Amino acid sequence: MRSTARSFARLRWRLFGGAIRHGGAEQLGAVLSVVASAIVALGGGLALLAAGRSDEWQTLAVLICFTAVLAILAMGIVAGVSQPIDPRVVATEPLSDRNRAIGLLTAAAVGPPGLAGAVLGLALAAGMTHRPEALPAVALATLSWLASLLLVARTATNGLSLLLVRAPRLGQFIVGFGGLAFYGLFQFVPATFARIDADERADLAAALQWTPPGQIGEAIAVAQESIAESLARTVVGSLWLILLWWGFVVSTDRLAVAMRSGGQAVSADRNVIARWAHRACGSGAVGTVAWRSLLTRFRTPRTAIETITGAGVGLAAALSPALFRDDPGAEAVLVGGAVQLGVLFMAGNSFGNDGPAVAYEMLAGAEPSVAAAGKARSILIVAAPLAVIGPVAAAAITDTWRFLPAGLGVGVGGLLAGVGAAVVQSCLVPIAVPESDNPFASGESGQGILAAALLVLVLVGLTIVTVPIGLALLWAADRGHAYAVAGLVVAAIVLGAAVYRGGVWFATRRLSGRDESFLASVTPAR
């Protein structure tokens, strides 16, 4: 067992060193992992040391232990479909299930994120120890907490990976809506926690102490007064490690040999929404490209997550004035229609989603204008609900229905502008989407950081174009100038249409004469 752990630890660092030497996306990912881990270790360690010296340190010990486990579970669902070492790679090695599981856990623990977790554990133990005699009990409870974090993260990853292989639709649903839930909690929980007083925090900790992580936090808190009680609570809080270990071993074994199960083909035109969307795509070559783009948008977890989470993040930004302002009014309804951010986030890689099909059509003689127009139309159709949901939700929250027509007009303008910007971004740096069912497959072509930088530039450009009319609309609405509001709404729609047409024109020019290079950039790595 020890030799297996040492072998996997050496393998983990050899792979890490190989990624650094390889260059490209692998090198960038390794560097970012180190930087992110260092930031988490430094910032989190200082925060834990400060919490240990707070007057509420006993309450915070319970809240920290519980919140950290919940956060690592959420991160495992949202972004945890990755492993330092793919279980499928070592499936053929002469290892027992137990040894393979120990090796994979060791590989996860000795990497940069695992070492950052160890630093957090040291900071927690140091901050929460107020007398030397309590240190052994606090250290034991901290080790149990770190083991919980590791097992929860890896078991969640394995379980999600199995779902994405055997039940892709269910996996997409969990990841997509899990991402939205995590984003919502990240926005609302800190603000809510800051508003509650010390007594309410103590009541919350008293309720959470009956969970396994809560028992560990309580063990740390009572160690200063009773070593025996601390050890007893550590034992109780560690019982679930048995279940987590069993789940990790079983899920690792099944994932190592998992194959996607076949399913019956389902007609896309069987439901009313699909029939409506098909008709909205239109006929001819442009309609065909648009319809295929709609179908392929939900073919893999990656494209489905991009669509769902992008829409959710964009709507959250548009609805933030209605949700967080003390006295939201008509302005909140107008801002609710500013959905261009959501459109850009959900459709910024439209050419990469089914790039090979588009590229081969262009090689066969199809006009680039057909590809660009078809993509733009598909984005327009799939993002159209945002232009309605945003203003209606803002009007419902603020009870300002008289500005709903103006909000819907702003929504149409934001939708058109967002589509134009998304087409521009996607044609400049398309990112290939893997065809493989392997959830660990990567389509990264080394352009991820370039795509992120380009997204910032597109956002800046979109802001420069749309902010003047937006500010004028808010000014007119604040002063009750109905005719001015109506005129500016029409201007917003016209501006959005101009951005839409400009985006299609730019994409057409960009793709003209670039068939082979475009095909290379959208062909997934295997």
Place of tokens 């309605």: 388
Tell which residue, 474, 471, 475, has the closest CA to residue 463: 471
Confidence of residue 249 (pLDDT cuts 50, 70, 90): confident
CA 148 to chain centre: 23
Q: Decide if 289 contacts 375 (C-beta within 8 A).
A: yes
Q: What is the structure's pLDDT at 266? A: 44
DSSP per-residue codes, 346-405 = HHTTHHHHTHHHHHHHHHTT--HHHHHHHHHHHHHHHHHHHHHHHHHHHHHHHT-GGGHH
Q: Residue 338, by phi and psi: left (phi above 0), alpha (psi -120 to 50) or beta?
A: beta
- 3-state secondary structure (DSSP) of residue 257: coil
Confidence of residue 290 (pLDDT cuts 50, 70, 90): confident
Q: How many CB atoms lie within 10 A of CB 354?
A: 21
Q: What is the structure's pLDDT at 189? A: 66
Q: At what angle do helices 168-195 and 301-324 cross, to 10 degrees?
A: 20
As given in the structure block, the two tokens for residue 214 are 């809560």
Q: Is 254 exposed, middle or buried (0-12, 13-18, 19+ CB in 10 A)?
A: middle
Q: Which is more confident, 526 or 338? A: 338
Long-range Cβ contact pairs of 489-493 (< 8 A, separation 24 or more) = 489/406, 489/409, 489/410, 489/413, 490/409, 492/409, 492/410, 492/413, 492/414, 492/466, 493/409, 493/412, 493/413, 493/416
Place of tokens 């080790």: 143
Confidence of residue 144 (pLDDT cuts 50, 70, 90): very high
CA 126 to chain centre: 33
Q: What is the structure's pLDDT at 80? A: 47
Which of 178-192, 211-225, 256-270, 300-314 is least confident?
256-270
Q: Can you tell me the distance from the alpha carbon of 445 to that of 515, in angstroms, rounded to the nearest whole number? A: 17
* Mean pLDDT across 92-108: 80
Which of 50-64, 228-242, 332-346, 393-407 is least confident?
332-346
Q: What is the structure's pLDDT at 501? A: 92
Q: Decide if 26 contacts 121 (C-beta within 8 A).
A: no
386-428 confidence digits (pLDDT tens): 888 888 888 887 777 777 888 888 888 888 888 888 888 888 7
Tell which residue, 300, 389, 302, 301, has the closest CA to residue 343: 389
Q: Can you tell me the distance from the alpha carbon of 208 to that of 202, in angstroms, rounded to the nearest whole number? A: 10
Which of 17-26, 312-321, 409-418, 441-450 is least confident?
441-450
pLDDT at 517 over 90: no
Q: Decide if 446 contacts 315 (C-beta within 8 A).
A: no
pLDDT at 377 over 80: yes
Average pLDDT, the chain: 77
pLDDT at 28 over 70: no
Q: Residue 480, by phi and psi: left (phi above 0), alpha (psi -120 to 50) or beta?
A: left
* Mean pLDDT across 261-286: 68
CA dihedral 64, 69, 72, 77 (to 10 degrees): -140
Q: What is the structure's pLDDT at 445? A: 45
Q: Which DSSP category does 262 fall into?
A: P
* Mean pLDDT across 301-306: 64
Q: What is the structure's pLDDT at 409? A: 86
* Most confident of the following: 157-161, 171-175, 324-328: 157-161
Q: Decide if 64 contacts 86 (C-beta within 8 A).
A: no
Q: Can you tell me the distance from the alpha carbon of 211 to that of 214, in angstroms, rounded to the nearest whole number? A: 5
Domain ranges across the chain: 1-257, 273-522
Using alpha carbons only, what angle is made at residue 458 by residues 454 and 463, rounded to the nearest 5 degrees? 150
Confidence of residue 143 (pLDDT cuts 50, 70, 90): very high
Tell which residue, 155, 177, 139, has the closest CA to residue 69: 155
316-355 confidence digits (pLDDT tens): 767 777 666 666 666 666 676 677 777 877 777 777 777 6
- Residue % of the chain over a pLDDT of 70: 72
Q: What is the structure's pLDDT at 438? A: 41
Q: Which DSSP category does 130 fall into?
A: -
